[in-house]
Amino acid sequence: MDDCQNKTYRPWEPHRYAQEAHTAAGKLPEGDLVFFLLDTVPQLDLSKVYAYYEDETRGAPPFDPTEMVCLLLYSYSVGVFSSRKIALACERNLAFLAIVGQERPDFRTISDFRKIHLEAFKDVFIEVLHLAAAAGMVKLGNLAIDGTKIQGNASRHKAMSYGYMKKEEQRLRAEMDALLKQALTQDAAEDAVHGSRRGDELPEELRRREDRLAAIQAAKQRLQEQARAEAEAERQRRQEAEAERQRTGKKRRGKEPGPINETPDDKAQTNFTDPELKIMKANNKGWDYCGNAQASVDGTHQIIVACDVSDAANDKQQAVPLAQATRENLQQAGVVLPQTADGQEKKIPVTLDSGYYSEAAAKDVAELGFDPYMATGRQKHHVPTEQSAASTSATPAAELTPKEKMAAKLRTTTGRALYARRKVIVEPVFGQIKGVRGFRRFLLRGLAKIRGEWRLVCLTHNLLKIWRYRCAPSGI
């Protein structure tokens, strides 16, 4: 990174801790995580982070970006996510002091650095994935994709339903009309007493109501756009279902569905704190504003190869974007893809639960170079293999629908073995992130920043895996 050192930074001496009376080296185990990061982070390509500061000449020299990246990675690895708590740890925790030394950033510096460089952590994620692959921790024998709901930084009390918005809009307009009439009456009285006045000032009560009305109208528009998008998706789903019935000759079961409504339901809600989040069903906690955090995990050492956050409550539309991101990340990280005996690229097995299945998703995932094993419904436990195989062989393969073919694929010996591993590959990863490290709520707002924060969480998960695999003391 010699080409990035034209800018002057505050001095950073990461090995100074070894000269202090009470040092991390003297108190912590030799293979502690902080020493692993102090050795690893300076080897990463942080040119995009440095580039931000190269043309800035105002103010005091900034903290060295390598120091700040190391600080953030260590903090997220040990479950310290708040910038204020990180700053506090820099004053009294030996491991944090080993990173920052005598020049300790305050919480605002830490918070701003994280927000500014969220996009740059994309490259850090790829580099860490490359390190994992180089260590033999990414084999691509079984990828598992799943999602988990993580609470957003948005209060349920700062939300409003579409029906209440319409009532509130009417009330505010009535109050504004009354205030305008009152202002006109007051102007006329003042003109009679004091003569002419400028007259372009808005009463504070009127300005406040105008701001609230504008916020409500913007929220209504968001709900209307969302309702139109959902109506179009439902229209597409019905067309696909009808085409499938025409192909198979099956009749519709149940009642004819009602007309598609593009107007939001009166109970539809949006949040004023973070409008980009939607209310979702959180496990065992009722409903809350959440992000649907996604991860694609390799089965060998639970390395996350791709991640994302969606504002959709279900996973129907997430399989293809995650597969695409997985493919791109593997290529950028230089991971060698599996090949057949004749040198052709071998499809990578990927397992997904029934929440991801659709005929189009299975087809698109396969075209991206994967071999999808997607559950088409709730899996029955303790069903003998012979019984399930007999139910499949009863219908000729040529007459099976794509959904039935996928269900039959999961009932094969290979399919059952791969899918049985799905839960022990991806679900423990979410447990380690949420239960062990305590990351249960996003600190940032806005979908783009939330995605960046989730990427930071996932890359530190991978760093922890690499550290434990290569450098952790025995017994860890």
pLDDT at 34 over 50: yes
Report the mean per-residue pLDDT for the chain: 81
Rounded to 5°, angle at Cα 278 from 275 and 284: 140
Print burial letters for 431-466: b (CB count within 10 Å at least 16), e (below 16). Answer: eebbeebebeebebbebebbbbbbbbbbbbbbbbbb
Q: How far apart are CA 140 and CA 371, in angstroms?
A: 11
- Which residues neighbour 388 within 8 Å (Cβ) at sequence distance 6 or greater? 411
Between 196 and 90, the more confident residue is 90
- Which residues neighbour 207 within 8 Å (Cβ) at sequence distance 6 or greater? none
Query: Can you give the pLDDT at residue 99?
Result: 92
Model pLDDT for residues 94-107, shown as the tens digit of each residue? 899 899 988 899 99
pTM equals 0.76
Q: Are 16 and 101 in contact (CB under 8 A)?
A: yes
Burial of 352 (0-12, 13-18, 19+ CB in 10 A): buried
Q: How far apart are CA 414 and CA 357, in angstroms?
A: 19
Query: Can you give the pLDDT at residue 475?
Result: 43
Query: Can you give the pLDDT at residue 53?
Result: 87
pLDDT at 63 over 70: yes
Model pLDDT for residues 342-380, shown as the tens digit of each residue? 888 899 999 999 999 988 999 999 999 999 999 987 765
Rounded to 5°, angle at Cα 9 from 8 and 10: 135
Segment 424-445 shows an average pLDDT of: 93
Between 200 and 111, the more confident residue is 111
